[in-house]
Structure 1
Amino acid sequence: MTIRTLALLLLTLCAQPVWSQMEQGHSTPGMDSAALSTRLALRDLWVEHIFWVRNYVIANQQGERKQADTAVTEVVANATAIANSLAPLYGQPAADQMLKLLAGHWGAVKHYSDAAVAKNAAGKKAAVGELTGNAKAIAKFLATANPNLPENTLVTMLSAHGGHHIAQVDQLGKQDYAAEAKTWKAMREHMLVLADTLTAALVKQFPDKF
């Protein structure tokens, strides 16, 4: 898959978030507490992911190693928090597997950022392949764990997320800040969609917990 093809996936997700399609007038006390808290917590975690990755990309391009190292630490801490959010429902082994998959995602984005700074076209191409393969792996893992998460839908969503990262790295590298501002907005909205989709699937799979 080329960089252009992956970037085009940014346009594929046009439906409303799963959560927004739920009847607002039929919420229960459980949905107003545990489910809502989970939804908001996952939103925060996924938005934090793109925040710290963006910090790394900027610091990396500016040669600010201390700032870049801090961003790396925070990206890893955030990935650990996302993975551990699965533990109460799926167990720690599942959380550990998710962390490995998220590490692969971050590693691919970092690879792309580093290759962009080095002006290494082959490295950038390889990183796109890593992102694409990782998106499929995460989608398979989540779909296997929760039957309410269609694998093909997740592949599309996660590939689009990877495309956002790529677009952002390239736009910041070109100092096209107006375009990057639009990408950031799209990234954030996409993360909210992902968090809401995951929450709705969890509520459906574990109604007794919510």
Structure 2
Amino acid sequence: MKLRTLALLLLVVLVQPTWSLAAQETATASSDNAALTTRLALRDLWVEHVFWVRNFAIANQQGQHKQAEAAAAQVVTNAKAIANSIAPLYGQPAADQLLKLLAGHWDAVKHYSDATVAKDAAGKKAAVAELTGNAKAIAKFLAGANPNLPESALVTMLGAHGGHHVAQIDQLRAGDYTGEASTWSAMREHMLVLADTLSAALVKQFPEKF
């Protein structure tokens, strides 16, 4: 800690009355807790997304239709939770719009998985185009809602996320389980970075809420 900062802190302690210090500490703790709670909640939601998509991809490759259906249902449930997480700050119409975009992302991933199982090269190519277009649409929406989220950076992040899905599905199809394990680790870490980026932007945009 710099000496100047330490001196200022000591001055505050000496001058402020005890009740004022207690109130300030409580406010700071509450702010930190709110921001941390949001960060951890978003991390859980985005990691759940890749977890359930992975479950679907594995079951789809193996022809386990009931398992695939159950995983797909969880992907949808998770997408609703992610979308509704922004409702308190941006309103339900914005949450509904985000849900449509997330549904588009899931549809593209599912199309790619189905095309891979069917050995449909044209279908895979079309699904990648869907993923790319959807990533740009989500980036535009998020950047428009929060000025602390550069659209170009979001396009890169979401594009990389889509690429992880594609690589994972291809590796599962090829039986490259070592490669898929590496991809899973990378996509999980990527989701943590994305969640932290979004939560930091929210805290900066709505300081009064945190």
Show structure 1 runs of 5+ residues with no match.
Answer: 1-27
User: 1:17 maps to which residue?
Assistant: none
Q: Distance in 2 between matches of 1:204 and 1:30?
A: 16
Counterparts of residues 1-210 of structure 1 (less than 5 Å)? 28-210=28-210
SS at match of 2:147: coil
Aligned amino acid, residue 82 of structure 1: I
Aligned amino acid, residue 119 of structure 2: K
Deviations for 1:87-112, whole angstroms, at most 9, x for unmatched residues?
00000000000000000000000000
* TM-score for the superposition, normalised by structure 1: 0.86
Deviations for 1:92-151, whole angstroms, at most 9, x for unmatched residues?
000000000000000000000000000000000000000000000000000000000000
Q: Which has the higher contact order (CA 8 A, sep 6+)?
A: 1
Aligned amino acid, residue 71 of structure 1: A
- Who wins on radius of gyration, i.e. which is larger? 2
Aligned amino acid, residue 59 of structure 1: A
Deviations for 1:60-113, whole angstroms, at most 9, x for unmatched residues?
010001000000100000000000001000000000000000000000000000
Q: What is the percentage of aligned positions where both structures have the same residue? A: 79
Equivalences, count: 184
Aligned amino acid, residue 161 of structure 1: H
Q: Distance in 1 between matches of 2:76 and 2:154?
A: 22
Q: Displacement, 1:30?
A: 3.7
* TM-score for the superposition, normalised by structure 2: 0.86
Q: Distance in 2 between matches of 1:101 and 1:90?
A: 16
Show structure 2 runs of 5+ residues with no match.
Answer: 1-27
Poorly superposed stretches of 4+, deviation over 3 Å: none
Q: Displacement, 1:31?
A: 4.1
User: 2:19 maps to which residue?
Assistant: none
Aligned amino acid, residue 72 of structure 2: V
Aligned amino acid, residue 173 of structure 1: R
Q: Distance in 1 between matches of 2:152 and 2:31?
A: 27
Deviations for 1:20-78, whole angstroms, at most 9, x for unmatched residues?
xxxxxxxx424421100000000000000000000000000100010000001000000
